[in-house]
Structure 1
Amino acid sequence: MSNANFSVGDLIRIHGLVSKPQFNQMIGVVKAFHENTQRYEIQPSRGSKTLAIKDVNLSDDEFLKPTDDKFKTERVYDNVFLWPSPTTATRIPIQCYSDCPSADFPSRQDEYIQSKLGWESVDTLSGIEEEGREKPTFLLLFDGLDESSPKNHAAMTIAKLLPEYKVQSCSRYKGIIRGVAILTYSPTKSTFKSMGLGLDHMNGQQVNEANENRRFTPQLLYDIIQFHKTDRAERQYKNHNDPMHRTFGAFKHMMM
């Protein structure tokens, strides 16, 4: 009979280790539970080696779970951190942080991320889209110098949909993303707005301007990640990959 208190894919905080104190306070992901030793196999947020840890040295109280009401109702976030998912996990491990600086303050955001996750570098892929929106609304952040952590397949699925010109703008992206990745809200502003035209309507159609103050629940952010696994996402990115759409979005037909 299993005495497991955590499930594969759960995020946990490591604490109280005597033999390996360097891992204390580190966040990890549960990869497996081994009945014979009554220990969890934990993948730390950074690096390739896993740890065998007793449940008394693990806690998950700080992490919002999909079964929590706030996962679907707490609309206060503009970021989502996504961990590499164990092959047997049913969900991608994610967590949102309300105290993480927004993309409007990149130096502060970078400092926060490096302090929390130990990244050597904060690298950025732009152009991440939401379903049904004409312009990109997110950035994908990752550590381009991480060569040892597990591959983050969810992040790589998102990145593979980006047009070539977006990929080429990030010199450290070589088709592989390792370790934790982050989606951070950074909407592309309307061309008409940036041109100073201040139009509320055009030919009876309302201008779809970016709302810089939008916030999301963890569930909404998880759904954005999941959208990128679908054929719908592939079609949307393909349809948006032309110079006119990049400039004018939904209004490109008015410019022709």
Structure 2
Amino acid sequence: FLRLNSPAKATRLDFIKHYKRLTFLELRGKFNGFASIAACLQLHTLILNCTVESADVLAELPMLQYLSLDHCELKGGLDVLTQSTISMLKLSSVRKLTSIQGLEQMRGLEYLHLSLPKLEHLCDFSHLNSLRQLELDYMKSLRDTQHLWTARALESIELKEINTALKADSFAGLTGLEHLRQIDFRFIDVNKGRIAAMRDHLDNAGKSHLLYENIPEHERLNSIGIAHLSHVLI
């Protein structure tokens, strides 16, 4: 277990190749020698709040389950992650990331959290047969929802602070996701009118029982990502 914070001067990571049993790593700040992480073959949880020169090294980690790119910069695309073992992925305020093309081939993905205010389009989720939970947060530039309905295996979806240009009708496809067990849009925005219209649509389709607030507390689905971190950090 290792947390490193290097806010001012870049720290070299060469030493980390000797940490053969490291399972959790969190990096915040400035670092050099990122490729050295490839030697940490037991690493299953990686949280990066730093510039990632290349995601290639992430695909070389044979045990990696959880990856968080949070308030960082990713140089290069996400395509390399298709070769990874990642099942839980969080992309939050990744600078200059305007496309998530490549994620559609991450067939082992079970949990996806996107908080990308500049992202305009989602990817095709139709090949992600293991994707059970999707969380969209602060998606202020999202232009359409058509790809949402390709996530046919979804059991839980959470929508927070989504572009107000997307009206309630844009989310009508929620009723067509047959495996859905929980829908949470309580904080989609401050516009109570859109929330009320979305609730009415679900009610008319006989799906109001799927609303988070209508599900008994003991039956609600917890976030897979949060549950994983809670287990690791206890």
TM interval, short-chain normalised: under 0.3
* Structure ID, larger Rg: 1
Could you say which structure has the higher strand fraction? 2
Highest RCO, 1 vs 2 (Cα 8 Å, sep ≥ 6): 1
TM-score w.r.t. the length of structure 1 is 0.26
Q: TM-score, normalised by structure 2?
A: 0.28
